[in-house]
Amino acid sequence: MERNSNQPLYLRIAERMEAMIDAGSLRAGDRIPSIRHSSVQHQVSIPTVMQAYSVLESRRLIEARPKSGFYVRPRLSKTLRQPVASKRKPSVASLAAFASVLSVIQDVNDPSLVPLGAAVPGDELLPMKKLGQLTSALIRKTKGICLRYDPVPGCLLMRKELSKRSLDWGCGFDAGDFVITLGASEALHLALLAVTRPGDTVLVESPTYYGTLNLLAQLKLKVIAVPASSGDGLDMNAVKEALNTHTVAAMLVIPNFSNPIGSLMPLANRRELLELAEKHGIPIIEDDIYGDLPHEGPRPHCLKSLDQEGRVILCGSFSKTLAPGFRVGYIVAGKFQQRVMELKNAFNLGGPPLPGLTIAEFLRTGGYERHLRRLCHTYRHQVCKMRETVAEAFPEGTKLSNPSGGFVLWLELPRSTDVLAVFREARATGISFAPGPLFSPNGSFKNCMRLSCGSPWTPRIESALGSLAGIVRTLQSTQLT
Amino acid sequence: MERNSNQPLYLRIAERMEAMIDAGSLRAGDRIPSIRHSSVQHQVSIPTVMQAYSVLESRRLIEARPKSGFYVRPRLSKTLRQPVASKRKPSVASLAAFASVLSVIQDVNDPSLVPLGAAVPGDELLPMKKLGQLTSALIRKTKGICLRYDPVPGCLLMRKELSKRSLDWGCGFDAGDFVITLGASEALHLALLAVTRPGDTVLVESPTYYGTLNLLAQLKLKVIAVPASSGDGLDMNAVKEALNTHTVAAMLVIPNFSNPIGSLMPLANRRELLELAEKHGIPIIEDDIYGDLPHEGPRPHCLKSLDQEGRVILCGSFSKTLAPGFRVGYIVAGKFQQRVMELKNAFNLGGPPLPGLTIAEFLRTGGYERHLRRLCHTYRHQVCKMRETVAEAFPEGTKLSNPSGGFVLWLELPRSTDVLAVFREARATGISFAPGPLFSPNGSFKNCMRLSCGSPWTPRIESALGSLAGIVRTLQSTQLT
């Protein structure tokens, strides 16, 4: 290390590293050398390196991760803005047109394609071995229990563990408040059936998860899709106006790390939403499936935690955190619980007990907290990597969400982009993503796409993103000529 | 053995044993001494015993069971007639009243009571160890698969095994014809949604499974319950008339060992039912959940095997044969398959893959046939024992079904009996059964009950039956005074 500058040594080290980050030699999510390693590398003392890293931390360029070291923080590329909520006034849509776009879901989920489509965790991120061991041990230990019907409300041990966890959600539910469901999907299905009738209108975020739109379509519900931004989520003025001008039977929202836009609804907006629900006498269905996945800090509370009246029906699952294939979800339905239980009992007599018991045991023995810490860091890292790469590769004018949790990104491509054409082309190249129109009841978001960052960051994924950007550029230039 | 009679030796042995059977020293389902053992016991040659047993067989008093020996055949007590179909003309019912009786289901399923209520196999009858081993092996071997979503139509290996088995049903389905469901319950749910709308009328057997009535009620369907007898099932004239006088959207039937009356629909009636369905242009939903459980002879074919037009939707599961708690069922929906898949996908994105894989492996490695043979014998034995005991203990005038498969019995008590009063009293004594009104949309069968013979025959169950008969007698005499 040169020692001929007037700057203190630690500052020179810090600035050299900042230059490397600016130049892209060190990129968001990269691990930087350990303190000990840097000390050797720069031939300076350990306290000097610590001072240098402290500067970088205070400049929000790097961050410490417990037991793992220092990493380059994600930084928005200057060229990428976030998508904003549409200003268009929402109207009631029938979802009849939605069926036509639904056929692409199969491609979104096709496992032979590069997995930027379905919002599923990569196998590598799941505690496969531990869950396998627990399953084997439980089926031996519990004998008959796993073979028997597990009547609604389902697995008591699971409900007890959920009761404990609900403190982290800002709630203090009893085991008796829960009904175990087949993933959050079944929870949403039961919630909607409990509070609506065919022909009713449900208020949702726009864009929102296509599975929800599909469910609404199958239940012959109509929808009013209220614009939401990737920052704060729902445009509250638009919600207010929609409720004043339309008869809405229920609102279905994703306050924590919304799919696909990744928004985190501010507390004030949550309070306002509840007040509006109260004023209009309507229930709120809260999809909290990403709530356990903040990129940093504590888990955000549920909207349900503010609910004094049993007006909010909370739905969640372990499909994004532990094992989609276990199909273990839950619903806290408040005053609709009896109805929800009747419906579930009539529809399938309850689910298989083994997956619930296994996850309960995982939660009980403390593996979940440790697993979640690692998982949230990993998702964050993967989201950072994907953002950086999109920022570099995609055309000027692309907007990109900046989620603080979950693992999906929402891209708004230049207005002229036909994303369904991009989708077909990408599919042919072996790449899958979720095209924007899937997230709209009436084919909006024609120039948008959702990218899943659920899989480990690999050269294959990096190169697929490059190809995707190439396809976008090519189709754009074709259109321009 | 005395040798001073004029009768041939073998005949004297046969008649002595017949006398023992008549006197009740040997009872239906009892194993009689082996040929070798009898030969020693009676001091006669083995061929003589064989001749004697052959006489008893031809008189239908005993029967050989493969690899197990000779057993006393079930014989109807002379005093017990079978219930016959009601002559009352069926009308359309709304099921609104059904909800009131539904609350007793919890007691029917209460595991702390003597289990004559829920139609579930006793743990002891299920291949617990083998299923446990397969589960453990699969979760190790298949790695990620068990953690991943298993998209509709579900587990291909399971569907391949079902395809093979369908030959025994008189069908030759492809793996592609099946959708894996959460038990037969979900299959029935999807089937009904695919072919009806709220307010439609569905034709069912009377009495029929309360779970079906509950499902119809939750789907806001109406029902026309057509009388069925414990012999041939549906009264075909009544079906004809019902279809001529009412608009029926679908028929839901249990041709093989109907629950609760145990009827096996004759071939001619099946043909007629299909012709009627064709004439009126309506689908048939076939619940075949007991089809694998004949008491002797080959498995009866499915009604679906006669279906040339994709009009029959077949629903089944392994809940009565392998593991209720695995929740593995299936549906063959013919021309409604696409719709069924759309619905299932919207409702829960598919079930957990592990239970289906486990059962597929059990079927593939040949354990199922052997298990079924044993299980059918056991169910038959338990049904025989229960019939004999009911015949002895219950009041004069009790009628009793005589099923040739499955494991439930239907009792018609003397007309004055208030079975819900019996139910309350029995519950207080720690005994559960399913009261008749559960099997009717409008509270009929007030003097009927269903007894489950799913649990191994034990002194506890025998004594519970005695108590039950006592309660019936006491309540009758109270009413008479």
Q: Do A189 and B346 touch (CB under 8 A)?
A: yes
Greatest mean pLDDT among B19-28, B96-105, B316-325 lies in B316-325
Q: Which residue has the tokens 């809260």?
A: A286
Of A143, A147, A325, the CB nearest to B324: A147
Average pLDDT of chain B to the nearest whole number: 91
Residue B301 has pLDDT above 60, yes or no: yes
Query: A120 to chain B, minimum CA–CA distance in Å?
Result: 8
Assign domain B92-101+126-368 one CATH number from 3.40.50.12280, 2.130.10.10, 3.90.226.10, 3.40.640.10: 3.40.640.10
Contacts of A144 in chain B (CB under 8 A): 123, 126, 128
Q: What is the pLDDT of residues A269-323, one digit of tens each?
A: 999 999 999 999 999 999 999 999 999 889 999 999 999 999 999 999 999 999 9
Contacts of A217 in chain B (CB under 8 A): 346
Q: Do B354 and A135 touch (CB under 8 A)?
A: yes
* Arithmetic mean of pLDDT, B170-180: 97
Query: A285 to chain B, minimum CA–CA distance in Å?
Result: 16
Q: Which residues contact A196 (CB under 8 A, 6 or more apart)?
A: A202, A219, A221, A249, A250
Contacts of B150 in chain A (CB under 8 A): 325
Q: Which residues contact A367 (CB under 8 A, 6 or more apart)?
A: A127, A130
Residue A3 has pLDDT above 60, yes or no: no
Q: Which residue has the tokens 């739109």?
A: A213
Listed in order, strand segments (DSSP E) in A123-183 are 178-182
Contacts of B142 in chain A (CB under 8 A): none
For B478, the token pair is 């109270």
Q: What is the pLDDT of residues A186-235, one digit of tens each?
A: 999 999 999 999 999 999 999 999 999 999 999 999 999 999 999 899 99
Question: Is B403:B450 a contact under the CB 8 Å cutoff?
Answer: no
Side-chain-side CA neighbours of B123 within 13 Å: the count stands at 11
* Arithmetic mean of pLDDT, A312-341: 96
CA distance A113 to B119: 46
Q: Model's pTM, two decimal places?
A: 0.86
Contacts of A120 in chain B (CB under 8 A): 148-149
Q: Is B391 exposed, middle or buried (0-12, 13-18, 19+ CB in 10 A)?
A: middle
Q: What is the pLDDT of residues B305-338, one digit of tens each?
A: 999 999 999 999 999 999 999 999 999 999 999 9
Domain A127-368 fold: Aspartate Aminotransferase; domain 2 (3.40.640)
Of B214, B325, B352, the CB nearest to A148: B325
Radius of gyration of chain A (CA): 24
Q: Report the chain A residue with the minimal C-alpha distance to residue B182.
A: A348
Which of A150, A213, A348 is most worth mutating to test chain B (most B CB atoms within 10 A of its CB)?
A348
Long-range contacts of A239-243 (CB under 8 A, 24+ apart): A239/A203, A239/A273, A239/A276, A240/A276, A241/A89, A242/A90, A242/A203, A243/A203, A243/A276, A243/A279, A243/A280, A243/A282
Residue B2 has pLDDT above 50, yes or no: no
Q: Do B346 and A198 touch (CB under 8 A)?
A: no
* Arithmetic mean of pLDDT, B191-212: 97
Best CA proximity match to B262, nearest among B454, B450, B29, B27: B450
Q: Which amino acid is at B285?
A: I
Give pLDDT, residue A79: 55
Domain boundaries, chain B: 9-72, 92-101+126-368, 371-480
DSSP string, A315-334: EEESTTTT-GGG-EEEEE-G
Q: Do A348 and B144 touch (CB under 8 A)?
A: no
Residue B74 has pLDDT above 80, yes or no: no
Strands A284-287 and A312-317 turn out to be parallel
Best CA proximity match to B292, nearest among B321, B314, B324: B321
Q: Which residues contact B396 (CB under 8 A, 6 or more apart)?
A: B79, B414
Give pLDDT, residue A5: 54
Give pLDDT, residue B479: 65
Helix (H, G, I), strand (E, B) or coil at B92: strand
For B168, the token pair is 């025994």
Handedness of CA A328, B130, B319, B118 (dihedral sign): negative
Residue B55 has pLDDT above 90, yes or no: no
Q: Do B327 and A348 touch (CB under 8 A)?
A: yes
Q: Do B128 and A148 touch (CB under 8 A)?
A: no
Q: Do B147 and A214 touch (CB under 8 A)?
A: no
Best CA proximity match to B42, nearest among B17, B63, B21: B17
CA distance B129 to B281: 47
Superfamily classification of domain B371-480: Aspartate Aminotransferase, domain 1 (3.90.1150.10)
Average pLDDT of chain A to the nearest whole number: 91
Q: What is the pLDDT of residues A82-117, one digit of tens each?
A: 888 888 888 898 888 787 777 788 888 788 899 999
Residue A402 has pLDDT above 60, yes or no: yes
Neighbours of A366 (CB within 10 A): 9
Residues β-bridged to residue B431: B114
Please report, rounded to a whole number, the percentage of residues in chain B having pLDDT higher than 70: 97
Report the range of poorest mean pLDDT among A152-156, B35-39, B156-160, B233-237: B35-39
The pLDDT confidence band at residue B297, using thresholds 50, 70 and 90, is confident
- pLDDT: is B481 or B402 the higher one? B402
CA distance A90 to A85: 11
* Arithmetic mean of pLDDT, B146-166: 95
Give pLDDT, residue B23: 76
Please report, rounded to a whole number, the percentage of residues in chain B having pLDDT higher than 90: 71
- Which CATH architecture fits A9-72? Orthogonal Bundle (1.10)
Q: Do B185 and A348 touch (CB under 8 A)?
A: yes
Please report, rounded to a whole number, the percentage of residues in chain A having pLDDT higher than 90: 71
Cis peptide before B153 (omega within 30 of 0): yes
